[in-house]
A and B are shown apart, each in its own frame.
Chain A
Amino acid sequence: MLSYKAWLDTRWRFLIGLCVLIVVAIGTVYDYLAVQRLLPLTRTIDGDGAIRARVREAIEIERTYRGFVWLQWFRQNLAQIGTLFAVLLGSGHLLSSGSSGAALFTLSLPVSRDRLVGVRAAVGLAELLALALLPSLAISALSPGIGQHYAVGDAVIHGASMFIAATVFFSLAFLLSTVFNDLWRPLLIACAIAFVLAVVELVVPDVGRYGIFRVMSGEMYFSAGRLPWIGWIVSAALSASLLYAAVVNMRRQDF
């Protein structure tokens, strides 16, 4: 029943996130036709400079459908929108979406605080997993519609990378939600941290090699066919630490 309550507390955030991501996934698939038409025009892009090099690199990646899906969906749309919804799912009052009075009702139940927080985290993580996998699988399902193929295995591995890395932002927002009583401060702080990390990865390539968004996009799997185990393990460990800190913080809180 606690999981049902956690679902009621977060369902709109989850369902809106799922709808948005599926619409964007559909758009990504059908964008490929337009991108294919534009690719021949990109021969005129030449010269030096970091930005032009990146553009050329992107164009080369997008010459294959697999590359296009990875760049447009896993590295950009899913990473950005997924991070936002990971933060949204982790934010808010953890004991009740309503008033603090309803939180007192929750606390009056014969359930330990560890379990209350644990169930809320588990439901949020399950929703995040669905956000990472379902739209990605939708791409595999829709690709034949434009005469292309995108392997389900690739969708699952990239979706898993997205999920594991995004749990860090979920857990960060979750921890912040045990510090602040409102929805907005955890949301804004976690989003600000994600934004700073993304900018740092973009402008400092040496840092970017080990960056969380690189793990999130599954770049190692895309370019080398190897699973990013170290990135996964580090992300999972970081996420577990943040969730544990949230549990400890909740244990000592007064309501």
Chain B
Amino acid sequence: MADAAAIQTIDLRKRYDSVEALRGLNLNVATGSICGFLGRNGAGKTTTIKVLLGMTHPTSGQARVLGLDADRPDASVEIRRRTAFVGEDKDLYDAMTVDEMIRFTAAFYPRWRADLQARYLRAFDLPADRPIKTLSRGTRTKVGLLLALCRGAELLVLDEPTSGLDPAAAEQVLQALVGHVADEAATIFFSSHQIANVEQIADSVAIIDGGRTVLAGSLDELRERYRRVQLVFDRDAPDPAFRAPGIERVRRSGRVLSVLSSAGAEPVLDEARALNPVSMDVVPVTLKEIFLEAVALED
């Protein structure tokens, strides 16, 4: 089905003068999912989001959102009618009050949800008559989120939604997002540096590095696939050449050999037995470890 993906990019490229921000990005976000979009600083997350929302023109490749071509001006307007966005800076119009900001935004969305507006005004404890410029970053984030959640949007695109928030406020925002998806059957695509947040609410992840997707899939599937096998020897650990598929990294440290596999533990264990270790343990791998591995960083 052509529209099964809420977001799809094919070989998407974006060059700013001498900098290539996106280098053939392929992305597929299923409708109804909560997809965490991870990457290092400068990996291309914000550029991707801007391309998806028609704020930046791609150099080449395709970006489709809700089945529409993001780079066609008329389609882009329709995408933004059906999509809500919260930017990284959480900047709104300083000259308006919270109430004016809500009325201003609501005027553009025929499916504006007054019931959700009332609910989130209460839940987030937002001061309707306070000017935006006097609000803290956390409160601005909540206003931005209210404006996003009440649009009746099919897709929410959030750039670092919890950045700069204290843990309590971040938790409140995450719970609101999860609740929204459960109630409204929307798709959420959010970038974040907070891997714990992604692990908490996402059901799929896409990790990009250097403008390319380096890993993508359902979180459960990744957790299932990725395993660390710890082998302990009664002598210095050997330096074997594993032939098993999916070996991502082998690390020796004294008598311990640690093998990270992206194809489950069994093939590694089969090979490891021949090395005669005194113990073999299979350890689940966290999303943080998977991320660090995907972007080739030492944890």
Contacts and interface: CB of A to CB of B under 8 A. Distances in A.
Interface residues of B, number: 33
A9 B104 CA distance: 14
Nearest to A12: B95
A101 B91 contact: yes
Contact of B91 (A5, A98, A255): A98
B93 A8 contact: yes
B78 A108 contact: no
Interface of B: 16, 50, 53-57, 73-74, 77-78, 80-81, 83-85, 87-96, 103-105, 107-109, 144
A54 to B, nearest CB: 46
A153 B244 CA distance: 92
B96 A101 contact: no
Given A8-B96, A112-B77, A254-B16, A104 B108 contact: no
Q: Which of B16, B53, B144 has the most CB of A within 10 A?
A: B53
Contacts of B89: 99-101, 104
A90 B171 CA distance: 43
B16 A104 contact: no
Given A1-B104, A101-B91, A105-B87, 15 more contacts: A96-B91, A98-B91, A100-B89, A102-B94, A104-B87, A104-B89, A105-B91, A105-B93, A108-B53, A109-B80, A110-B77, A111-B80, A112-B74, A251-B73, A254-B16
A105 B92 contact: yes
A4 B103 CA distance: 11
The 3 closest A-B pairs by CB, nearest first: A101-B91, A101-B89, A110-B81
Contacts of A252: 57
A105 B108 CA distance: 13
Interface string A82-118: 0000000000000011111110110111111100000
B46 to A, nearest CB: 10
Given A9-B95, A98-B93, A99-B91, A104 B109 contact: no
B81 A112 contact: no
A230 B88 CA distance: 51
A98 B90 CA distance: 12
A254 B56 contact: yes
Contacts of B55: 104, 107-108, 254-255
Contacts of B105: 109
A255 B73 CA distance: 15
Contacts of B108: 1, 109-111
Nearest to A104: B87
B226 to A, nearest CB: 35
Given A5-B104, A111-B108, A254-B16, A101 B93 contact: no
A8 B73 CA distance: 27
A123 B88 CA distance: 29
A100 B92 CA distance: 10
Interface in A235-253: 251-252
Contacts of B56: 254-255
17 contacts: A5-B93, A5-B96, A96-B93, A98-B94, A100-B91, A104-B89, A105-B85, A105-B91, A108-B83, A110-B80, A110-B108, A111-B77, A111-B108, A112-B77, A113-B73, A254-B50, A255-B50
A255 to B, nearest CB: 5
Contacts of B87: 101, 104-105, 108
B85 A102 contact: no
A26 B41 CA distance: 59
Contacts of B53: 107-108
Contacts of A9: 95
A112 B73 contact: yes
A97 B95 contact: yes
Contacts of B81: 110
A230 to B, nearest CB: 36
Contacts of A98: 91, 93-95
A7 B155 CA distance: 31
A8 B107 CA distance: 17
Contacts of B77: 110-112
B88 A101 contact: yes
Contacts of B107: 1
Contacts of B93: 5, 8, 96, 98, 102, 105
A8 B91 CA distance: 16
A254 B57 contact: yes
Interface string A108-141: 1111110000000000000000000000000000
Nearest to B85: A108
Contacts of A113: 73
Interface string A129-164: 000000000000000000000000000000000000
Contacts of B57: 252, 254
B109 A8 contact: no
Contact of A101 (B78, B80, B90, B103): B90
A102 B96 CA distance: 12
A102 B144 CA distance: 11
Contacts of A96: 91, 93
A140 to B, nearest CB: 34
